Structure 1
């Protein structure tokens, strides 16, 4: 590969030009957003003041509300992920190349996935709060709607990467298309599907704590209320509890994923 050691004049000019364009874009972005050392220094000073007010963390007098909010966030994450995974399974077969042979139909389904993935959970939460009102139901629907397309795409890729020989063997024995999917594809991709669902469960536990800020239930509402009244010690306690809860869910889901995959 001589170009790696001695690039041509055209290639060298293109590299220099790309570097200049990137540097100009970076400088313009910093100027447009008014990113200055003075603002960063002032922000760091304000952050240090908040950190001092957080020490020592305290559950406050309404600690039962904090525990209720944490349990609500976990329940929202579980229900939202379960609904999304359940709906994503049949949709994934419609988007898999080795199952859906109609190119136009598969292309349309994949573009629908792309469209749903382009909308964040927080936007869905704002919409569902308007539709169904305040509370955890809006959060569950927001998590499920945002995750359906992502899980369906991941599941479709797992189906496309499945070993073909099992499906071909069932087809050669006279199996119907439904039997080919049931016994030739699903046993291969099921551990991957469950592993993805467990990972999204862990991720959605963090997301559920943010959705409460817009009224979609969970611990986020407790955090927003305490920030509003500047009870930073209670905010610190909630953050510590969130870290412990996410770490515990990560440990449990990791154990389950390893057991499903078959490794120790």
Structure 2
């Protein structure tokens, strides 16, 4: 079998020698691309004047912090309950922010999809509005809403809603545009209206994809809710910032451990749900 493949390959090489010649042009482009990327990286390092000599001293200080963090200790059972309540608050912020952003973005994503709304002006304005909302980072939204509604989880929920609104609008509209046109055309051929084509031909295809994206963002927003809590948006991030400020490193490590366990659990659960949703879609 091996000799047959070798002889067959040799015969093909004799008939079509150009197919077996090294493509030096493509190899050269790849090499030049890698070289340009490395040169650009080095140029950026030089221009920013990054002090690499501080890295060794910083690693020693990091080791000292890690020693102070061991073992993780909440301080007392009452304090541990406060931290668990703050952790639940963070998860609630992530859940409500993700759900609110998805619900608001869904109808807007229909306007942003070319195969749903053919009006170019509506499509352009909707897309640019989503770009504007998505262009502002979640932390900036948190700072804005803390100044508007004050400290607390409500500001965190509003920050995630604003940030996810732009992201979900873009992702949902792209999923809608990538859907198969044949089911919708079949509904129209059977006498249905354009809205019927969207309801019965388009949405059944994209809903599992949208749900999968929402689950992924819920997992990601759990981490984001921790960060925005540091600027006063509530949750365990606020507790973490306070313990760092007073140099309670054992409590800091306990909070970090809680966050890691929670994020890992949500990642595992959402992964199972995403695979279940995709599996049902493929079976259907």
Larger Rg: 2
1:41 corresponds to which of 56, 61, 64: 56
1:207-244 deviation digits (Å, cap 9, x = unpaired): 00011110011111110011011111111111111111
Q: Does 1:261 align with 2:278?
A: yes
- Aligned residue in 2 for 1:7: 25
Residue 255 of structure 1, CA deviation: 1.8
* Superposition pairs of residues 149-160 of structure 1, within 5 angstroms: 149-160=166-177
Unpaired runs of at least 5, structure 1: none
Alignment match, 2:199 = 182
Q: Distance in 1 between matches of 2:29 and 2:199?
A: 56
- Give the root-mean-square deviation of aligned CA atoms: 2.3
Distance of 1:54 and 1:113 partners within structure 2: 42
* SS in structure 2 at match of 1:215: helix
Query: How far apart, CA to CA, are the structure 1 residues paired with 2:201 and 2:51?
Result: 59
* C-alpha deviation, 1:155, in angstroms: 0.8
Alignment of 1:52-131 (within 5 A): 52-61=67-76, 62-131=79-148
TM-score (ref. length: structure 2): 0.85
Counterpart CA distance in 2 for 1:181 and 1:116 is 26
TM-score (norm 1): 0.91
Whole-Å separation in 1 of the counterparts to 2:29 and 2:273: 53
| Structure-1 separation of matches of 2:30 and 2:100 | 49
Q: CA deviation at 1:13?
A: 10
Q: Which residue of 2 aligns with 1:198?
A: 215
Alignment size in residue pairs = 261
